[in-house]
Amino acid sequence: MAKQLWKPGNMIYPLPAVMVSVTDGEGHDNIITVAWTGTVCTNPAMAYISVRPSRYSYDMIRKTGEFVINLTTEKLAFATDFCGVRSGRDVDKFRKLNLTKEKAQFVSAPMIGEAPVSIECRVREVKELGSHDMFLADVLAVHADEAYMDKNNRFRLNDAGLLVYSHGEYLAGGRKVGTFGYSVKRKQQKKQMQKKLDKKSDRESDSEAEMAEMAGKLKTSGKPGMSGKLKMSGKPGMSGKLKMSGKPGMSGKLKTSGKPGMSGKLKMSGKPGMSGKLKMSGKPGMSGKLKTSGKPGMSGKLKMSGKPGMSGKLKTSGKAGREKR
């Protein structure tokens, strides 16, 4: 982006267009419009205005060392401009513009009743700089119009339609584009939102783990060479008893089925070389215990599955050398 090079000048815009009320202490009050004004320090609270020595109000400020900065609004635009182009030597501006004089708390200069904010100031130092002299002043008090206080006692100054001056023009009704610190708050809010999502995810994971734990527990142990599979299925209320025992080389199959209300246990034991299969079926609500034990060489299969409401415990025991699947 290309920029033109200009000679030194003031291009710090926009600026507040304020009406400064003053007095000579002898019954003569005046208003001067000032744009060269602003905050000097927060603590202690200080402000400044810069005034040409040729202005009628300049000598009044020099004499009393006091003035009041009155903020202006869109409704006061005409009065603001008038007080900047007409001299108090020729006209009583309060009377001409029908503005209300209000007594200040600490200074002799009057406040302007129609202003949303009036700031009492006392001169601490005068800096003679050139075309303008700067009056550095301590802020003694701030008067805020109660009309702009909301139900939470918060001062809504921007609802007043504040007037500003920019490069020869008065502007009002600025559009809000952000608040102090909003650039950082967005990042903080994003982090806080991510934390909430992470906590929600953790809670869901915990819930899933609890559901899995409630569904049942599985434990297998065994002796050398022993292996086994466990599976159980069932329908509502079915139960039964199964038992198989044998010696080396013996094999067999056991199967039971039943109707609602039946309960039972399953047990298989044997010696080396024995093999067998156990199967139990039923509907939801089935309960039972399965247990297999044996010595080296023994093999067996246990199967249990089920639908909603089924509960059960599965256990195989043995010695070293077991396999798990």
Assess if residue 193 is contained within a domain: no
CA 274 to chain centre: 69
Residues 33 and 164 in one domain: yes
Predicted pLDDT of residue 250: 41
Residues 225 and 300 in one domain: yes
Domain total in the chain: 2
Instruction: Give the span between the Cα atoms of 48 and 36, in whole angstroms.
Output: 8
Predicted pLDDT of residue 196: 79
Instruction: Give the span between the Cα atoms of 48 and 125, in whole angstroms.
Output: 10
Residues 139 and 229 in one domain: no
Predicted pLDDT of residue 49: 98
Assess if residue 260 is contained within a domain: no
Taking the chain (325 residues) in consecutive chunks of 10 residues, what is each chunk's mean pLDDT? 93 96 96 97 98 98 98 97 97 98 98 98 98 98 95 91 94 85 75 77 68 56 47 48 46 46 47 46 46 46 46 45 41
Assess if residue 91 is contained within a domain: yes
Predicted pLDDT of residue 191: 75
Domain of 302? 217-239+265-316
Predicted pLDDT of residue 200: 74
Predicted pLDDT of residue 248: 44
Residues 231 and 292 in one domain: yes
Predicted pLDDT of residue 214: 64
> By the 8 A CB rule, do 274 and 228 touch?
no
Predicted pLDDT of residue 4: 94
Assess if residue 188 is contained within a domain: no
pTM beyond 0.75: the answer is no
Residues 29 and 124 in one domain: yes
Assess if residue 272 is contained within a domain: yes
Q: Of 113, 140, 169, which marks where a domain is finished?
A: 169
Predicted pLDDT of residue 83: 98
Instruction: Give the span between the Cα atoms of 232 and 87, in whole angstroms.
Output: 104
Predicted pLDDT of residue 38: 97
Assess if residue 60 is contained within a domain: yes
Predicted pLDDT of residue 306: 46
Residues 132 and 64 in one domain: yes
Tokens at 175, concatenated:
């559009």
Residues 148 and 223 in one domain: no
Assess if residue 8 is contained within a domain: no
Assess if residue 235 is contained within a domain: yes
